[in-house]
């Protein structure tokens, strides 16, 4: 950990002043601010990626250098382009349908519902749904699919309004959104406003414990405001009148938690798994400031290893391309200073990104067919959390001898 920072901002959970740095990744543009061809000769705004830790409540957080309105109002991330993620969502809906006995008289509400990747499975089972998606362009696509979706940011006021118009929900879902809201307590209050007194709230988010263990520093970006342990997530929910009653450890996104909470006044005792995860965090040192030390040195190791590999590949006359254009990849590439000279292009399954350029690095994005046309010797997998799915999809690249490069948690050539 670097020396404490000299300036300070207030902790978004407890309000104490933040004076300590967890890791400083320098300056970077917002990770989803992809550029059109006519924009690459214009200026870009870079913001700090200086992640702090609260000495009081231990919430690891990035100050809101970029307003949520600027990040999420028009968005280019579509969940449905990940086959494994859509299947993950389908299994969850099946499990919840059985667990909560959901039917045509029930209601599922999802915050940050994206293009309906999850709610489509409930609609197929005849379960009424409501999606709340702040990106109007994505909400429009979900509605065109027949998935009732409204466009606004969830908070206590908007949650209460939605509940008044549609009724309260048996199940409220928030996948990879709890860490993406600058006012985490107001968002949690929105969840409470939406759920029935005997209902269930399910949240999934990357686990800080796994981020540190597996050196997943590229999951740090401006739209990811908080880096949550179960301890800090439970504290945020508690401030909104929700109590954690169960938890599941997931493999998604490099290691996530699925946290179940219910209104405090009707909540029972938490399961043994809740105690286990809290103990695991405590054993790893995450219940103290000191336990967060040393991450910055691990980050530098990843940067130096990747740069050395790419430079040597170029010296050896090898051609390298990228796969994927995820937000995490843009953190990695900007932090490492990788440009077209070391990574001439990347490809992505989402047609919405084709013909665009990565923010900061200006690396062009093509359709996946570009790989077969140019036959790179190495393909760098930027969404490493989907490595198994991607290696399977790109099995044809083995025909010309291509190898896959995964930079995190450590450089691996497969």
Whole-number Å distance between alpha carbons of 370 and 335: 26
Contacts of 254 (CB under 8 A, 6+ apart): 206, 210, 211, 214, 216, 219, 384, 385, 408
Sign of CA dihedral 131, 136, 138, 139: positive
The structure's pTM equals: 0.86
Q: Where are the alpha helices (DSSP H) in 198-326?
A: 208-213, 230-238, 272-283, 295-315
* Tokens found for residue 337: 């200073």
**Would you say 184 and 12 are in contact if contact means Cβ atoms under 8 Å apart?**
yes
* Tokens found for residue 166: 């549609």
| Spatial CA neighbour of 15 closest among 250, 225, 184 | 184
DSSP calls for 108-143:
EEEET-TTSTTHHHHHHTT--EEEE-S-HHHHHHHH
β 129-132/149-150 pair status: parallel
Sign of CA dihedral 155, 161, 164, 169: negative
DSSP 384: G
**Would you say 199 and 101 are in contact if contact means Cβ atoms under 8 Å apart?**
no
Q: What is the mean pLDDT of each run of 10 residues along the chain (414 residues)?
A: 54 96 95 94 94 97 79 55 83 97 98 95 97 94 96 97 98 96 97 98 96 94 94 98 97 88 96 98 96 91 97 98 95 97 96 96 98 98 93 96 96 96
pLDDT for 65 equals 86
CA 130 to chain centre: 21
Helix, strand, coil tally for the chain in percent (to 5): 40, 20, 40
**Would you say 357 and 365 are in contact if contact means Cβ atoms under 8 Å apart?**
yes
Q: Report how far apart, in Å, the C-alpha atoms of 265 and of each of 136, 196, 261, 268, 272 are.
A: 35, 12, 12, 9, 20
pLDDT for 6 equals 43
pLDDT for 252 equals 77
Which domains, from first to last, does the chain contain? 79-268 (3.40.50.150), 295-413 (3.40.50.720)
pLDDT for 4 equals 42
**Would you say 76 and 352 are in contact if contact means Cβ atoms under 8 Å apart?**
yes
379 forms beta bridges with 321, 404
């Amino acid at each position: 950990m670097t020396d404490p920072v000299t300036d300070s901002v207030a902790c978004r959970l407890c309000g104490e002043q933040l004076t300590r740095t967890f890791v400083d990744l320098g300056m970077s543009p917002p990770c989803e601010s992809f550029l059109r061809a006519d924009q690459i000769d214009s200026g870009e705004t870079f913001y700090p990626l200086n992640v702090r830790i609260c000495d009081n409540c231990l919430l690891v957080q990035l100050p809101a250098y970029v307003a949520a309105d600027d990040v999420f109002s028009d968005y280019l991330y579509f969940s449905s382009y990940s086959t494994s993620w859509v299947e993950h969502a389908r299994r969850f809906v099946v499990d919840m349908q059985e667990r909560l006995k959901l039917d045509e008289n029930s209601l599922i509400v999802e915050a940050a519902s994206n293009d309906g990747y999850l709610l489509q499975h409930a609609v197929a089972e005849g379960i009424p749904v409501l999606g709340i998606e702040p990106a109007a362009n994505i909400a429009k696509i979900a509605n065109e699919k027949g998935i009732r979706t409204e466009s606004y940011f969830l908070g206590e006021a908007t949650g209460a309004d939605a509940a008044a118009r549609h009724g309260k929900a048996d199940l409220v879902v928030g996948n990879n959104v709890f860490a993406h809201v600058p006012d985490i307590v107001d968002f949690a209050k929105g969840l409470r406003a939406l759920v029935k007194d005997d209902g269930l709230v399910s949240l999934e988010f990357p686990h800080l414990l796994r981020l540190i263990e597996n050196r997943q520093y590229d999951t740090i970006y401006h739209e990811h405001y908080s880096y949550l342990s179960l301890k800090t997530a439970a504290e945020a929910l508690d401030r909104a009148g929700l109590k954690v009653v169960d938890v599941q450890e997931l493999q998604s996104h490099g290691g996530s938690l699925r946290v179940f909470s219910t209104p405090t006044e009707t909540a029972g005792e938490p399961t043994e798994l809740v105690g286990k995860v809290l103990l695991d965090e405590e054993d790893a040192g995450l219940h103290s400031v000191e336990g967060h030390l040393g991450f910055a040195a691990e980050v530098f190791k990843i940067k130096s290893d990747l740069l050395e590999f790419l430079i040597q590949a170029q010296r050896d006359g090898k051609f390298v391309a990228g796969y994927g254009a995820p937000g995490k990849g843009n953190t990695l590439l900007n932090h490492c200073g990788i440009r077209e000279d070391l990574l001439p292009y990347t490809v992505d399954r989402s047609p919405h990104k084709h013909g665009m350029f990565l923010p900061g690095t200006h690396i062009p994005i093509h359709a996946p067919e570009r790989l077969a046309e140019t036959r790179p010797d190495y393909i760098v997998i930027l969404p490493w959390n989907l490595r198994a799915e991607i290696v399977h999809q790109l099995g044809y690249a083995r025909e010309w001898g291509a190898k896959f490069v995964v930079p995190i948690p450590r450089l691996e050539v497969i």
